[in-house]
Amino acid sequence: MYAKPSIGLLAVAGAAAMPTATPVFRVARILLQVTGVGFGLYCAGAAVLLLAGCWMRWRDAAAGRRRSTAEGL
Amino acid sequence: MISDLTVVGSVGLIALAVLYNTGMFGLSRRSHRRTGEQPRPRLYVFILACLNEEKVIAASLSRITSLRGDNFVAMVIDDASDDGTAQVVRDIGSPKVALYQRKLPNARRGKGAALNAGLRRLREARIIQHYDPHDVIICVVDADGRLDPHILQEVNPHFDDPATGAVQVGVRMYNRKQGLLARLQDMEFVVYGDIFQSARRHIGSVGMGGNGQFMRLSALDSLPGEPWSDCLTEDLDLGVRLLAEGWNNVHCLTAAVHQQAVLSLGRLLRQRSRWFQGHMQAARLAPLILRKIAPRPAVDLLYHLSSPVLLLLTSLLPLSFLLALIGVGVASVSAGHLLLSPWWLPWFYLMTFGVASAYTHVYRKREPDLGFLRCVLLGHVYVLYGYIWFVSGWWAVGRTIRGRQTWLKTART
């Protein structure tokens, strides 16, 4: 189950190639925009995940260091 | 300006998918070196969780009992079947086959619960006591699963590496000659195994499937809690948790388990919706991945886990394309001439079906008798077949919104 790029490229190519702004074309463009906004949110979520991951690992490493220091005492 | 940016976002999504798929194809073509110590004597235990499987269980057990070697047994977990599953197993009368019958109300709580119960029972068995848990390999096979005769000889060397926790074999459809839909499912599993799983051997993020998963007992013992969860895709869940415990998952390209393809579109959509919903449930694994899995496999696993979101987003694009096409048609009729340059046609074709050449190449290696032209044609149909995920994806979203989390299993024919 992976994102299929083929029709996507077609859609963008088709929308970009459209010569006139008919109502149908506007709807097609809106669908593209919804996808684009969704992908923007996805990227923002990925960035948050990246930061959360870094923070979790840093916190776990710090806790590990504290534990080993305490055991050394 | 903002409107243009959002369209650029769509292009970004497509670029990500193209880059990922191409990168995985490239990685999958690289060879993989196997490391390991001296082989040790091991016991293989095949576990088959069955609920009303009288139609298929005899053939599966017959394949298992005729495997080469004498270092294996099979345990059938009958999850309170209404049909004659238990009797069929008893009638086989092989010393290599054991039957464990679960009773209601504890039975029928999902495949994961049945497998956990079976493993608990297995731990008490005498045969296990003669082996170190590191040398006991549990293999989960679906009731319709037919294993390649050489499967143990192909899987066993992977366990010579003490870090290997699990090995997933390829999955094929044994009824792939029964129509186009079955053939496409076979191609789908070949593409998934030979491209994505194969590439993941280099990344360290090989996933487990529900059928043909081999796991060390010691690896299962190392997991916190019970090995199989109540998630609809308990196999995906298990694979990630094994990686998080520091085990390596391996994909074996040289042996496969053959299962029954679904032969009607309705059943296929229903099956994929179940998988899609399970995939969405698996998002709960994200914190575990972030915390415990090395960065490279973690990125791949997070991409894999988030693929339902990407799929739902890309599902709007075919609609957009269709509307754009209608728009061009209407505008061309009004203008009296074609408003779209014919030069777009090869571009459209290349973008839509270019990927088919990679799939054709991979599938033809597995099915050399199919013929080049037939394979090329199949590759094209396969691209369109991939869009069933859009329908099943939205179906799964609908079920999730309505709070429906359980599914009836796919019926055998």
Q: Which helix (H) or strand (E) holds A51?
A: helix A23-72
Find out whether B45 and B139 touch, Cβ atoms under 8 Å: yes
Q: Kindly determine whether residue B387 and residue A7, on different chains, have CB atoms separated by under 8 Å.
A: yes
Structure tokens at B244: 């998080």
CB pair distance less than 8 Å for A2 and B3: no
Looking up tokens 């509307």, which residue turns up? B323
C-beta atoms of A2 and B321 within 8 A: no
Q: State pLDDT tens for residues B161-212.
A: 999 999 999 999 999 999 999 999 999 999 999 999 999 999 999 999 878 9
> Is there a contact between B263 and B185 (Cβ–Cβ < 8 Å)?
no
Which residue from B minimizes the CA distance to A8?
A: B317
Residue B410 has pLDDT above 70, yes or no: no
Q: Say if the Cβ atoms of B317 and A7 lie within 8 Å.
A: yes
Paired with B214 in beta bridges are B139, B167
- State the average pLDDT over residues B262-285: 91
CB atoms under 10 Å from CB of B98, counted, come to 18
Interchain pair A2, B353: CB under 8 A: no
Q: Which residues of B touch A1 (CB under 8 A)?
A: 275-276, 279, 307-308, 311, 389
Count CB neighbours of A47 within 10 A.
10
Q: Which residue has the higher pLDDT, A9 or B372?
A: B372
Q: How many C-beta atoms surround the C-beta of residue B49 within 10 A?
A: 27
- State residue B409's pLDDT score: 62
In chain A, residues with a C-beta closer than 8 Å to the C-beta of B319 are 28, 31
* pTM (2 d.p.): 0.85
Residue B40 pLDDT? 83
Q: Give the one of A35, A40, A52 whose C-beta lies nearest to B290's C-beta.
A: A52
Please choose, from the candidates B110, B89, B85, the residue with its C-alpha nearest in 3D space to the C-alpha of residue B99.
Answer: B89
Identity of the amino acid at A12 = V
| Greater pLDDT, B309 or A9 | B309
Task: Give the nearest chain A residue to B24 (CA atoms).
Answer: A2
ipTM score: 0.80
Question: Residue A20 CA to chain centroid, in angstroms?
Answer: 32
B131 token code pair: 């082996």
Q: What is the pLDDT of residues B97-152, one digit of tens each?
A: 989 988 888 878 888 889 999 999 998 888 888 889 999 999 999 888 889 999 99
Peptide bond before residue A23 is cis, with ω within 30 degrees of 0? no
Partners of B325 on chain A (C-beta within 8 Å) are 14
- Answer yes or no: do A12 and B383 touch at CB < 8 A: no
Would you state the pLDDT for residue A10?
Answer: 53
pLDDT of residue B337: 81
Element (H, E) at B250: strand B248-259
Going across the sheet that includes B213-216, the strands are: B97-102, B72-79, B43-50, B136-140, B213-216, B164-173, B248-259, B146-147
Furthest-apart CA atoms within chain B: distance in Å:
84
The answer to whether residues B76 and B97 touch, using CB atoms and an 8 Å cutoff, is: yes
